[in-house]
Amino acid sequence: MSKVQSRRSFLKKSLLSSSALATPAIFPTGILGQNSPNEKIRTGHIGLGGMGSAHLNFFKNFAGALCDVDENHLKRAADKIGRYVPLYKDFRGLLDQKDLDGVIIATPDHWHGIMAVMACEAGKDVYVQKPACNTIEEGRAMVKAAKRYDRVVQVGSQGRSTHAAYKSSEFINNGQIGKVNWVECWHYPNPVGGFQPNTKPPSQLDWDLWIGPNRYVPYNPQRVHFNFRWFLDFGGGQIRDRGAHVMSVAFFIMQADHTGPVSVEATGKPPEKGLFDCPTDMEIKYEFKNPDWKMTWSQPGPEELRKLNGFGARYHGEKDTLVVRGGDGGTWTEDKAMKYNGPEDGYKPYKSPGHEQDWVNCVRTREQPIMHIESGVRVAALCILGNLSYQLGRKLHWDPVKERCIGDEEANRFMSKAYRSPWRI
């Protein structure tokens, strides 16, 4: 392909098939910065909607390929990059591109597991948006792939990379509120919606590839893109969306990344109308042992907390409490934590330079990032089990080591799910 071929011409040709034939991305001299510590890192981006587009604000000079099943997303991302890179509709073409060091996965949740495992198999490091996985089996496969292929995998729960999370962890783990026995998470309710009729997919969208491994459903304009979150089979509601952020910060503060609950009990109120099937209101209780503490998730939660922020968590200690508002890229805590400076010999959490930068640094050093895949899978399990308890209508007794429900084979059948051919993990 000629260097002088226009980006618009390339875009038009690349969209004629499911995968563009990859040729090395052409970077003008100095585009990554002379002697830059990041100059050898080149990234491929899969999923270019909301967060996928936002990631390009940081990765613009790293990007070496773009992929989306929606031509409109792909066009906007290519314009944002402003230079030639290979463009794909099918992510498998991007994974075959040899000059990419890592991939950024920001697709709907039901694609995360398969894409991350295949990226590891292709020798790419991975930054995958939260929640890490859709099933327990997918999470285990992701952890195994990262270890087997020696890949750096960061899960995009940006909250634990914020200064507020760092200061909250320092404050609590130096005993300022006493032993924490309850983490009280809250979030506003899931929406009710999905009132438009099913219709034919628009020409710019490959609907079959958007669905991918999931069961086939007819196209509906209120099912696709952002709204996938409000369907249990594709997203899973606020508990899997923002819950993965809030609980990530909680696990960071509680130093619980390598553990899990021993029981999960959820109740919820299903929507009375519309296509969306996630419960509008929801209450979940998680019990932990050794040490003993509990976490609760409330939609919508106490009014006094909702007045502070739409979502967050209150940490109840033996001596005091601490409220951490938000939990994603927007995370705040109380002044008493922000102004606290612990003793030199006290507890100091890992200090992230920023979530994306932390991953880039670890790609270079081969160290574990702040939200490595094991941590991400443990947090995703909380969301998965909460929804499962709601759907089955009963309390689940969980073995966090074997990652199985105790004495409940019906529940264990939901640890994995059947994929549409040809997809597998």
pLDDT of res. 11: 38
Q: In angstroms, how far apart are the furthest CA atoms of the chain?
A: 69
CA 148 to chain centre: 22
Question: Looking at beta carbons, which pairs linking 289-293 to residues 24 or more positions away fall under 8 Å?
Answer: 289/262, 291/179, 292/181, 293/180, 293/181, 293/182, 293/183, 293/254
> How far is it, in rounded angstroms, from Cα 56 to Cα 61?
8
* Residues 240 and 387: beta-carbon distance below 8 Å: yes
Identify the sign of the CA torsion 154, 243, 184, 400.
Answer: negative
Task: Write phi, then psi, for 49 (nearest 5 degrees).
Answer: -80, -140
pLDDT of res. 38: 44
Split at pLDDT 50, 70, 90, the class of 283 is: very high
What tens digit of pLDDT does each residue of 77-114 get?
999 999 999 999 999 999 999 999 999 999 999 999 99
How many Cα atoms are found within 13 Å in the side-chain-facing hemisphere of 12? 4
* Residues 248 and 160: beta-carbon distance below 8 Å: yes
318, with CB counted inside 10 A (0-12, 13-18, 19+), is: exposed
Split at pLDDT 50, 70, 90, the class of 14 is: very low
For residues 175-180, average pLDDT: 98
pLDDT of res. 39: 57
What tens digit of pLDDT does each residue of 238-272 get?
999 999 999 999 999 999 999 999 999 999 999 99
Split at pLDDT 50, 70, 90, the class of 40 is: confident
* Residues 139 and 381: beta-carbon distance below 8 Å: yes
With helix as H, strand as E and coil as C, how does the chain read? Answer: CCCCCCHHHHHHHHCCCCCCCCCCCCCCCCCCCCCCCCCCCCEEEECCCHHHHHHHHHHCCCEEEEECCEHHHHHHHHHHHCCCCCEECCHHHHHCCCCCCEEEECCCHHHHHHHHHHHHHCCCEEEEECCCCCCHHHHHHHHHHHHHCCCCEEEECHHHHCHHHHHHHHHHHCCCCCCEEEEEEEECCCCCCCCCCCCCCCCCECHHHHHCCCCCCCCCCCCCHHHHHHCCCCCCCHHHHCHHHHHHHHHHHHCCCCCCCCEEEEEEECCCCCCCCCCCEEEEEEEECCCCEEEEEEECCCHHHHCCCCEEEEEEECCCEEEEEECCCCEEECHHHHCCCCCCCCCCCCCCCCHHHHHHHHHHHCCCCCCEHHHHHHHHHHHHHHHHHHHHCCCEEEECCCCEECCCHHHHHHHCCCCCCCCCC
pLDDT of res. 9: 41
* Residues 354 and 331: beta-carbon distance below 8 Å: no
Task: Write phi, then psi, for 397 (nearest 5 degrees).
Answer: -100, 120
Full-model pTM: 0.90
pLDDT of res. 202: 97
pLDDT of res. 75: 97
Neighbours of 393 (CB within 10 A): 9
pLDDT of res. 339: 98
* Residues 259 and 288: beta-carbon distance below 8 Å: yes
> How far is it, in rounded angstroms, from Cα 413 to Cα 171?
41
Task: Write phi, then psi, for 172 (nearest 5 degrees).
Answer: -70, -40
* Residues 310 and 169: beta-carbon distance below 8 Å: no
Say yes or no to pLDDT of 32 above 60.
Answer: no
Say yes or no to pLDDT of 1 above 80.
Answer: no
What tens digit of pLDDT does each residue of 322-366 get?
999 999 999 999 999 999 999 999 999 999 999 999 999 999 999
Say yes or no to pLDDT of 167 above 80.
Answer: yes
* Residues 243 and 214: beta-carbon distance below 8 Å: no
What tens digit of pLDDT does each residue of 200-233 get?
999 999 999 999 999 999 999 999 999 999 999 9
The angle formed by the CA atoms of residues 163, 169 and 282, to the nearest 5 degrees, is 95
For residues 387-413, average pLDDT: 98
For residues 50-76, average pLDDT: 97
pLDDT of res. 367: 96
Say yes or no to pLDDT of 400 above 70.
Answer: yes
pLDDT of res. 8: 40
How many Cα atoms are found within 13 Å in the side-chain-facing hemisphere of 268? 32
pLDDT of res. 267: 98
Least confident of 13-17, 150-154, 375-379: 13-17
Q: Please report the domains of the chain, with CATH numbers, ordered by start residue.
A: 7-159 (3.40.50.720), 160-350+374-415 (3.30.360.10)
